[in-house]
Structure 1
Amino acid sequence: MNGRHQAIGIKQVIRLDWMQRTANLLLAGVDAKAIRMELHEALNRETDGQRSAQTRAFAVNNLMTIWCSADAELGPFRAAVLEMLRQDPKSGLALHWAMISAAYPFWFNIARQTGRLLALQDQVTQAQIVARLKENYGDRQTVSRYARFVIRSFVDWGVLQDAPVKGCYEQSGPIAFDDRGLALLLYESALLASPEGKASLARLANEPAFFAFKLPLLSGGLLSESRARLDVVHGALDDQMLVRKPG
């Protein structure tokens, strides 16, 4: 397990439009140093200078880690996400979800616990989500504090909404799409968010971390033909496994 899988890391609400702004700068060929400067200036303008320098720095550092990290595991995946974003900007929310899940498995794991709870009940609370997270991250105050930033990000992205009862959240409704290439990138993000780098197709098809989406069904044959970074192998009882290729 590397540091990416152990880290909590998200120290501010990450707004969807900030994710898009960063991706747009990359697609325009702007270098990392200039992107960092542009993000600082943009966040300062949007908040009329009310956001503290430290808070802006946290948000910018998160965005730079997601989109400009030198992590070798993320490079080819990020390139694929950016190319699809260039071709189909309307799929932005799902693509940003895939990218942030891969870069910050903490986001993915909060989404997973949120999805599990929403499968059992109509509303969830931060306390319920954090209680489940502590099984993986331990009983640290930072887990609760940083989980709140992720949950509020879910609200900003429109996949959760505030319930009438304070402190409760409801699902806004899953986003349906038919693009199998987009679904496959979400599958790949789940593998990148997992230290094992593999999962059964059945598990991925029902992954609670994708509670915000209604994904098309993917066959093992289609998967094996469509991604150089992934393999489909047969596991126990002829279960098909999707596995990240080394390198």
Structure 2
Amino acid sequence: MSKRHEKIAFKQIVRLEWMDRTLSLVLAGYSESEIREQLDRYLSTQRQSGGEGPVRNRATYGMSLILLSCWFRKEPELDGFREALLEQANRVEQKDWLPLHWAMLAASYPYFAWVSEHVGRLFSLQDSITSGQVYERMKQSFGDKEMVARNTRYVVRTLVSWGLLEEGKGKKGQYRMPSVYQIQDSRVTELLLEGLLLSIPDERCELNTLLRHRALYGFSIDYVSPQELARLSQTRISMSQVGLTTGIVMINRLQNMDYVQD
């Protein structure tokens, strides 16, 4: 298990347009320090609720930490995955980056994927959910702590800002299932599944379970075979065949011998 899986680390809302801005700068070839400088200026006027506001004190807009760490934090186990995301982002228009951002946050901050999973589980049982219901499920794993409640709210509000949750018409904090985001590119499907695998502590899952994983509630993806998944990932994912249509898929750590598991 990587240290990524030990952290309850999601300390602010991460808006989709901020992810777009960061990825655009990475693709343009700017260095980490240059991107940090640009993001600090940009985020100083950005509201977490959306849109612009008065310039704020630098200490109040530390979002560049999460945005930069996705791409520059020293985590050799994510290097190949990051490169694949960048290659795919170069192939498509910015409007199609949302699933790539989801995969990146799931891999970099597994807590994001775990909250998403409980959102999906709740939607499998009922038509609308509340942030309190999501927190009740998260505290079963992480305890009844203010930090857990706060970080869970940040993930939920991030999903709202991305259009992966819809505001309900009832009481505040109530949400509805959004229109499902259709994934028609098998390479994007592979990256979504890889990001999800990287969020799982032992980095392995039965394929059909992975394809139906509740964390992916907001996406519609087609079936992909274990062999195709391994091929599309350029062997970053390996598989153990169980049947003709399924198998155990796992992150292939033999690809990067510099990575040492904790």
Identify the TM-score tier after normalising by the shorter chain: over 0.9
Q: Measure how far apart 1:70 and its partner are.
A: 1.4
Matched, 1:191 2:194: no
* Structure 2 equivalent of residue 214 of structure 1: 220
Give the superposed CA RMSD: 1.7
Please say if residues 184 and 223 of structure 1, whose CA atoms lie closer than 8 Å, have aligned partners that are also in contact: yes
Q: 1:147 aligns with which of 152, 160, 178?
A: 152
AA aligned opposite 1:222: E
For 1:8 and 1:52, locate their aligned partners in 2 and report how far apart those are by CA, in whole Å. Answer: 26
2:206 matched to 1:200?
yes
Which of 52, 63, 67 in structure 2 is aligned with 1:63? 67
Pair 1:170-2:210 in alignment:
no
Which residue of 2 is the match for residue 133 of structure 1?
A: 138
User: CA offset at residue 73 of structure 1?
Assistant: 1.2
Verify the 8 A CA contact 1:8 1:146 in the aligned structure 2.
Answer: yes
TM-score by length of 1: 0.94
How far residue 134 of structure 1 moved from its aligned partner, in angstroms, is: 1.5
Whether 1:19 and 2:25 are equivalent positions in the alignment is no
Deviation at 1:235, TM superposition (A): 4.8
- Whether 2:39 is the aligned partner of 1:39: answer yes
Q: CA deviation at 1:138?
A: 2.0
Task: Give the distance between the partners of 1:172 and 1:53, measured in 2 at CA.
Answer: 34
**In the aligned structure 2, how far is the partner of 1:176 from the partner of 1:83?**
20
Which whole-Å CA distance do the structure 1 matches of 2:128 and 2:40 have between them?
35
Distance 1:180 1:237, change over 3 A: closer
The answer to which structure has the higher helix fraction is 1
Question: Which residue of structure 1 aligns with residue 247 of structure 2?
Answer: 240
Contact 1:2 1:195 in 2 (8 A): yes
The answer (yes or no) to whether the contact 2:225–2:245 under 8 Å persists in 1 is no
Return closer, same or farther for 1:51/1:133 CA change in 2, 3 Å cut-off. farther
Q: What are structure 1's unaligned runs of at least 5 residues?
A: none
Q: What does the per-residue CA deviation read over 1:116-151, in whole Å, with 9 as the maximum and x for residues that have no partner?
A: 001110111111111111122222110101111111
The SS at the match of 1:79 is helix
Unaligned runs of 5+ in 2: 47-51, 257-262
Q: Secondary structure at the match of 2:44?
A: helix
Deviations 1:81-130 (A, max 9, x none): 11101101242011100001100000000000000001110111111111
Q: Within 2, Cα distance between the matches of 1:169 and 1:51?
A: 30
Letter of the 1:153 partner, please give it: T
Separation in 2, partners of 1:236, 1:147: 38
The runs of 4+ residues in structure 1 deviating greater than 3 Å are 45-52, 235-239
Indicate the residue corresponding to 1:83 in structure 2.
Answer: 87
Report deviation, 1:178: 1.3
Q: TM-score, normalised by structure 2?
A: 0.89
